[in-house]
Amino acid sequence: MVAAYRRELAARAVDGQWQPWQLQALTAQWVCDRAAGWHVTQIAHLTLAGLPPDDPAWHTLAGVLNWLILARQLRDDALDLAADLNAGRAGWLIHLIAEVIWREDRNMRSLDQQRIAGRWLLDGGLGQRIAKLHARLCANAANTIATYTNDLPRLRDVIVAEQQAGQAVFASVPSFAFSATRAPLCDSFGAINAGVEGNASLSQRLFTPDQH
């Protein structure tokens, strides 16, 4: 968890610019590592319940928490995007937006706040895909925990609340204003596993372009 926070500090924009290596580090794995405290609570509950480490519930609940952590982070990033950009703070959403820009430009060059903001504001399809990603994360969490619904009503309620909160956030048109010192905006994201990072970037697999 400490290493994840160090990575976040290292990803602060310098002179309004993010280098590719800074944003590439903010993966789905990084999001879950930074929220490791959630898993500590889970381990405590399972241990007190007397479940052995090889019980399937351990893996199942770890997956549920990963989905929920990612969904909450995505919604939080969307709500705080303006403040984060103005402060030079990068998060998972900024990482995903940068991946879209780099994929289309075929050039891993540095990006500034205006380029990130412009893409978010002007690309309606991007916002829709982020909304779908949030919905998929919540659905995965809900489906995975279905077997334990009666035993974990509180976690079920948290997932439902996150689904509803996400629907409210992503239903609105993204808009925000930069501070007065900022330049005007200018601008000309597979299957999901319960684990976090495998050989391929989960961020890339979660955010593959729609095939429809």
149 vs 118, higher pLDDT: 118
pLDDT at 205 over 70: no
Q: Which residues are within 8 A (CB) of 211 and not within 5 positions of it... i.e. 6 or more apart?
A: none
CA torsion, points 25, 31, 34, 37, in degrees to nearest 10?
Answer: -160
List the one residue out of 73, 111, 108, 65 whose CA is nearest residue 92: 73
159 vs 153, higher pLDDT: 159
In eight-state DSSP terms, residue 199 is S
pLDDT at 175 over 60: no
Report the chain's mean pLDDT, rounded to a whole number. Answer: 78
Average pLDDT score over residue span 30-51: 78
Domains in the chain: boundaries: 2-205
Instruction: Give the pTM.
Output: 0.78
- Range scoring the smallest mean pLDDT among 41-45, 59-63, 95-99: 41-45
pLDDT band at 207 (very low <50, low <70, confident <90, very high): very low
